[in-house]
Structure 1
Amino acid sequence: DRHTFGDMNPYVYKTTDFGKTWTRIAGPEQGLRGYAHVVKEDTVNPDLLFVGTEFGLWISNNGGKDWAQFKGGNFPNVAVRDMVVNPRNNDLVLATHGRGIWIIDDITPLRQLTDEVLQKEATFVEARPAVQRLEGQGGWVQGDALYVGDNPPEGAAITYYQRTRHLFGPIKLEILNADGRVVDTLPASKRRGLNRVMWSMRLGPPRVPRAAQLAGNSQQGPRVLPGTYTVRLTKGKEVYETKLTVGLDQRATFSAADRKLQFDAAMRVHKLFDDMSTLVDKINKDRAAANTLVETLPADDQVRKDLESFSAEAEKIRKKIVATKEGGAITGEERLREFTDQLYGAIMSYEGKPTAYQMERIDSLQRMLDDVTKDFQSFTTQQVPKLNQELKAKNLESIPE
């Protein structure tokens, strides 16, 4: 360090004979800027080196032959005075000028970027196992006098390397469960170098019938069960695969068996929403067909009156499923859809074993939906054939049965 003499160049030396001889491995020739404060060797890969200078962090993956400045996460050109590798989380912790702390999450991918890996067209890079962390609830408002850092990303990090930017053909990431079924599809980054994509570890949200009120709890799907999943990268005609382990939060007080019960309960309600949507779609389709035909007939036509009556009765059945007024409990118009959304939110709020009441409520709502389904099927079985005969006599399009 010669900055007090006006020399702002970094001087980093390496020895392989216990200090008998030294070789300079970092200087302006390698692209480093600013005098050096600290140099660290990775605790796992001895070829992975880190140098903190007055103007940032530089990394070498080949023992100091080549260096690159770290710019991830909008890391500024700030003095890096000290650093340490956290052996538990594989994080690189930086101490910057002004008593600041900057944490680079999971340097496991950097440890694997050997010259052999860098020559591959594309490959997955191993990351630490994903953990479904328990979400914190509540807390006091601290104003602007308290600083807290951002939480780590909630999802599972998927990291892959591309030697060149992907330009032609499709590229996508798929997540497959143990049965080989695709449970999620993610947008894949096309840029060269390391790419990191976050998977929410959730299934898709349920399909919810449209209504006058927002079903806020059903806007996300349940988290997948802990286990081993396959990540598939399709890059043009080439396919690459790796394994991803998803684990429970160690702070969880419930067992894996309880977690399975919660997932199964959430999926039952998920399917309840899907069945409900299918029924409402059918009701809306039949009503739309009837209303379209009404416009083609005179006001005093008996067939028109029959179609209007059919549409009105179908609407009464739809109102048993969804609310048609805004306001929810305020208007007193909470229906099967709204009750199901409340139950779904309660089950999703805790990933342990559902309560006996919640399980009984699923059965109760399922019976309610079954009853409405039977009512609509009985209604259409009686009315649609009769209407279609009347429509056929007038050479009009029939209502789908």
Structure 2
Amino acid sequence: MDRKTLSIMGRKIEDRTILSRNDGVAAFPTITTLCESPTRAGILWAGTDDGNLKVTRDGETWKSVVENIPGVPKGTYVSRVLASAFDPATAYVAFDGHRSDDFNIYLFKTTDFGESWKAIAKGIQKNQGTLHIIREHPRNRDLLFAGGEFGLYCSFDRGEDWQELKNNLPRVPVDDIAIHPRENDLIVATHGRSVWILDSIYSLEQMNAKTADSALQAFDVRPATMWRMARTRDFESHDLFIGPNPPHGAIIDFWTKAKPDLKDVKISILDPAGKAIASIKPSTLEAGVNRVSWNMRVDRLAPPTPQEEAAAARLAAAGGEPPVTGGPLVDPGDYTVEISVASNKVSKKFRVEEDPRITWFSSADRAKRRDAINQLADMTKQAAGLRKTFTAADSSLTSLQNSWKRPDAPKVPDNIQQMAESLKKTLDDMRPLFSGRNFFEPPSPEERKAELSKPEPEFVLPPLMQRVSALIQALETFAAAPSESQLQQIALAKTAITDAGRNIDKLRDEVARFNDAMNAAKVPFVSVP
């Protein structure tokens, strides 16, 4: 058809009297979808907005195949045609009839270059809008995805049956779908709700009838990368906005046929030597596919304090990067997740990889850093034990002295009260070693008055646990062997913990004398672990 011979608004227009003959080209029949076969050169499929569907096997000669498709009204818009990545003769096509007030689902498949077509819309509700896109998984020919006016659908049997894929995806038009070939992420482009990503869809890729019939099944785990991300929150504060990101670390998916009881579930991470180094405790599990993640850290060597838990909650509520929980980071290597549910047990190997931008970190330097971190990890356990002893003595003495202030409390001998004050002073002198100021709570009027009365602020070292944690974090966030300064700081922290241990021993002796005196006066005594 020669466009220049067509009339415009019922009139033949000569070139010398028109400024733009091709105005209104959007209303002229055009190709709406074009797909080249990934398996054989020369095979192309094309669909148009006026209902034509053609195929060429040599890139030159085209053949119309739309007449072979049953049940589609003539002229229906071809929304998408997809050539299979596994078979040159296989293709899928979707039609969109809403422009003609037709909201039926038109989805078809051919295995003979379009000579015959089969409807494959079972499971997608009719008259629920139209389909815009169909996509085939690049490694599993049985796994298909389709996007329509009312959501996202998936099929595990090449389109024989479909089911809606929801999770937290809102009911929204899905205009396009992509599957990342390396990350195996499902990427969905919506109309009005931006782009949604379902990370690591190995569970969907590997789902089949055998898996669905098994009591417990683990899916492949995508390699976990130790990305090194810059922190800008300290500079931007509340101006920083970060959208939801995939879980940091290894994403672990597994199937349970029945809803498991959490007390029967055990998920462990094993190092390359097969030693259990971390455990994962999900808060909830359901029948079907469940997802947990491991942050590439060994289990925490000391339980968090209430103050640390509160700080972690504040960071989590602020959004962005999650707070650091657990013990030190592991080194890159091969690891195993072991999942037990009641009497069933499965495992999967996976790899932890270094940030690909880190190319200079030698094995020798990594071993030196690991040795330093291991030393600090042992010091963490020692410092935590000392802090536990100090906290127990401090809280017991405080409770005891408060009980003496009650109106109905019996009279306590003066020498016992003097010994209690002496013990309180000993504890106060040791307090900076085990607890720091909570900067999220304002100081009391007495504390503020004492601070203002000093000519200049006192320099106080951070508590032992904070010193050790800061050293571990400094080593983990820099890809190099420990510096001379860091080694010196490790030695100083070790000495400080040794000295603190001696002070705790003296504290035990003082508490023992105090308890002996209270026993003699028949006053309840303070217990120290």
2:172–2:192 Cα contact (<8 Å) kept: no
Q: Tell me which residue corresponds to 1:368.
A: 496
Counterparts in 2 of 1:352 and 1:324: CA distance versus 1, 3 Å:
closer
Q: Tell me which residue corresponds to 2:229.
A: 135
Q: Which has the higher contact order (CA 8 A, sep 6+)?
A: 1
1:105 is aligned to 2:194: no
Q: Tell me which residue corresponds to 2:253.
A: 159
Q: Tell me which residue corresponds to 2:159.
A: 64
Counterparts in 2 of 1:260 and 1:195: CA distance versus 1, 3 Å:
farther
The Cα of 1:116 is off from its aligned counterpart by 1.6
Structure 1 segments unaligned to the other structure (5+ residues): none
Counterparts in 2 of 1:390 and 1:54: CA distance versus 1, 3 Å:
closer
Q: Tell me which residue corresponds to 2:349.
A: 243
Counterparts in 2 of 1:330 and 1:260: CA distance versus 1, 3 Å:
farther
Normalised to the residue count of structure 2, the TM-score between the two structures is 0.63
Q: Equivalent residue of 2:378, what SS?
A: helix
Q: Which amino acid letter does the alignment assign opposite residue 112 of structure 1?
A: Q
Q: Output one character per residue of 1:305-339: Cα deviation in whole Å (capped at 9) or x when no partner.
A: 78447625742662462357667995533355254
Q: Tell me which residue corresponds to 1:321.
A: 433
1:168–1:236 Cα contact (<8 Å) kept: no
CA distance in 2, matches of 1:211, 1:94: 41
Structure 2 segments unaligned to the other structure (5+ residues): 1-94, 313-322, 405-409, 440-450
Q: Equivalent residue of 1:173, what SS?
A: strand
Q: Tell me which residue corresponds to 1:234.
A: 340
1:34–1:53 Cα contact (<8 Å) kept: yes
Q: Equivalent residue of 1:89, what SS?
A: coil
1:336–1:368 Cα contact (<8 Å) kept: no
Match among 243, 249, 270 for residue 377 of structure 2: 270
CA distance in 1, matches of 2:100, 2:437: 78
1:325–1:331 Cα contact (<8 Å) kept: no
Counterpart mapping for 1:6-85 below 5 A: 6-27=101-122, 30-31=124-125, 33-72=128-167, 74-85=168-179
Counterpart mapping for 1:104-253 below 5 A: 104-138=198-232, 150-166=244-260, 170-188=264-282, 189-205=284-300, 207=302, 221-253=327-359
Counterparts in 2 of 1:313 and 1:179: CA distance versus 1, 3 Å:
farther
Counterpart mapping for 1:280-319 below 5 A: 280-285=387-392, 298-301=412-415, 304=416, 307-308=419-420, 311-312=423-424, 314-315=426-427, 318-319=430-431
1:212–1:323 Cα contact (<8 Å) kept: no
Q: Output one character per residue of 1:329-373: Cα deviation in whole Å (capped at 9) or x when no partner.
A: 955333552544543443344354332211211111111221332
Counterparts in 2 of 1:23 and 1:355: CA distance versus 1, 3 Å:
same
Q: Tell me which residue corresponds to 2:188.
A: 94
Q: Equivalent residue of 2:497, what SS?
A: helix
Q: Equivalent residue of 1:26, what SS?
A: coil
Count of residues in Structure 1 that have an aligned counterpart in Structure 2:
395
Q: Output one character per residue of 1:103-156: Cα deviation in whole Å (capped at 9) or x when no partner.
A: 332222211111221111220111321112111233886999x99754332131
> Max radius of gyration: which structure?
2
Match among 449, 467, 485 for residue 357 of structure 1: 485
CA distance in 1, matches of 2:476, 2:197: 31
The Cα of 1:173 is off from its aligned counterpart by 2.0
Which piece of structure 1 moves more, 184-193 or 211-220? 211-220
CA distance in 2, matches of 1:400, 1:149: 48
Match among 334, 344, 353 for residue 461 of structure 2: 334
Percent identity of the aligned residues?
Answer: 27
Q: Which amino acid letter does the alignment assign opposite residue 315 of structure 1?
A: L
CA distance in 2, matches of 1:80, 1:59: 13
CA distance in 2, matches of 1:360, 1:30: 67
1:306–1:387 Cα contact (<8 Å) kept: no
Counterparts in 2 of 1:218 and 1:332: CA distance versus 1, 3 Å:
farther
Counterparts in 2 of 1:261 and 1:109: CA distance versus 1, 3 Å:
farther
1:290–1:307 Cα contact (<8 Å) kept: no
Q: Which amino acid letter does the alignment assign opposite residue 272 of structure 1?
A: M
Counterparts in 2 of 1:75 and 1:380: CA distance versus 1, 3 Å:
closer
Counterparts in 2 of 1:199 and 1:142: CA distance versus 1, 3 Å:
closer
Normalised to the residue count of structure 1, the TM-score between the two structures is 0.80
Counterparts in 2 of 1:192 and 1:186: CA distance versus 1, 3 Å:
same
CA distance in 2, matches of 1:100, 1:379: 61
Counterparts in 2 of 1:17 and 1:290: CA distance versus 1, 3 Å:
closer
CA distance in 2, matches of 1:252, 1:386: 58
Q: Which amino acid letter does the alignment assign opposite residue 60 of structure 1?
A: S
Q: Equivalent residue of 1:151, what SS?
A: coil
The Cα of 1:45 is off from its aligned counterpart by 0.9
Which piece of structure 1 moves more, 369-378 or 43-52? 369-378
Q: Tell me which residue corresponds to 2:386.
A: 279
